[in-house]
Amino acid sequence: MPVGPRALGKGEPVAAALALAPSEADAFGQELDRIRAEVLAERGAEDARYIHTLITVHRALEAGGRAALAVSLLPPAWPAGAAMLTTAKILENMELGHNILHGQWDWMRDPAIHSTTWEWDFPTPAAAWKHTHNDLHHTWTNVVGRDRDLGYVAMRMSEDQPWHPVHLLQPLYGGPLLAPVFEWAIALYDLEPEAVVQGRKSVRAFLGDLAGMARKGARQFTKDYVLFPLLAGPSALPCLLGNLTANLTRNIWAHTVIFCGHFPAGAESFTEDEIEGESRGEWYVRQALGSANIEGGPLLHILTGNLSHQIEHHLFPDLPSNRYGQIAPQVRKLCEKYGIPYTTGPLLRQYASTWARIWRLALP
């Protein structure tokens, strides 16, 4: 069951607020390190078979979806094609792109499935996303002023963030306006435009990143909204609408999963004072507190890219995603052992809780 919101003492170290001594936080971290070491030692043929199977399924779904939409003037072809292409795009972004770019499969030494070579079906160039997501978000998870993913610069998701009148509109622009165009919003977000204003990023670097994003975005747009519709001939219009439907659905799904991973009740945010001098064990504690899981069956876990195991992902971002469900019971027992809240619940409950938070923090 989800744990309710917990008040951290302002300026008080995170572990201390849970009545954890530094030695206990370190012991928690050491036990998690042992779990990680066991998974690393066990990686092998079964894991390789999993990722290769997912890639094969993704390619088959995309090819089938594209083929069906190419003849989508035939009534049964359009819903079948749109459904297959939607599922392919979700798999590519969530279980393949996101996790491959975390380096989860680099141990296979396969240049086709490597974090340095994979370029995903998303307007954001892989290198830009790895910086804002892997380097910043996973290091400073839910730390106000350090984690740009906490509200994506535009939303107020913590009482420690200053309130501005524009936040009154965040229930509108944070969901109904953002979710359908999530891929493009993230591409603009990954440019870090506010860093230029703050003097942390040069105009030259920004323009270089903008050019890279424009090239990648143009390829994405041309592929889905020009090339494949033209190849469909008489079915050009329904093909275009099928591609649009697949992208919109993928965007809304990704928005839902990501927001439910860090913003429902029980997922904490932190101040910089609370993480000052943070040890490895205390970093683990913060990752567990700042993340939230989604309960469900195997299909849901795959379609979320196993980000339904967001706690395990933030503890071990470089472990193969198919292992998260296996180690989740161990992680939960460890959290119970050390009195660390483990936030989890069904998708609808986590989604409702997330939106309750968005509405509450829209007010001063």
CB neighbours of residue 146 within 10 Å:
16
- pLDDT per residue as tens digits for the range 293-316: 999 999 999 999 999 999 999 999
The answer to whether 2 and 345 are in contact (CB under 8 A) is: yes
The answer, as to whether pTM is greater than 0.85, is yes
Query: Is residue 240 a contact partner of residue 79, using CB atoms and an 8 Å limit?
Result: no
Ramachandran angles phi, psi of 186, nearest 5°: -65, -35
Cα dihedral 2, 3, 5, 10 sign:
negative
For position 75, what pLDDT does the model report? Answer: 86
CA atoms within 13 A on the CB side of 151: 24
All residue ranges of the chain with pLDDT < 50 are 1-7
- For CA atoms 195, 197, 198, 204, give the dihedral sign: positive
Looking at residue 10, what is its pLDDT? 54
- On whether the CB atoms of residues 282 and 19 are closer than 8 A, the answer is no
| pLDDT at residue 6, rounded to an integer | 43
Residue 103 confidence (pLDDT): 97
Asked if residue 286 lies in contact with residue 20, where contact means CB atoms within 8 angstroms, the answer is: no
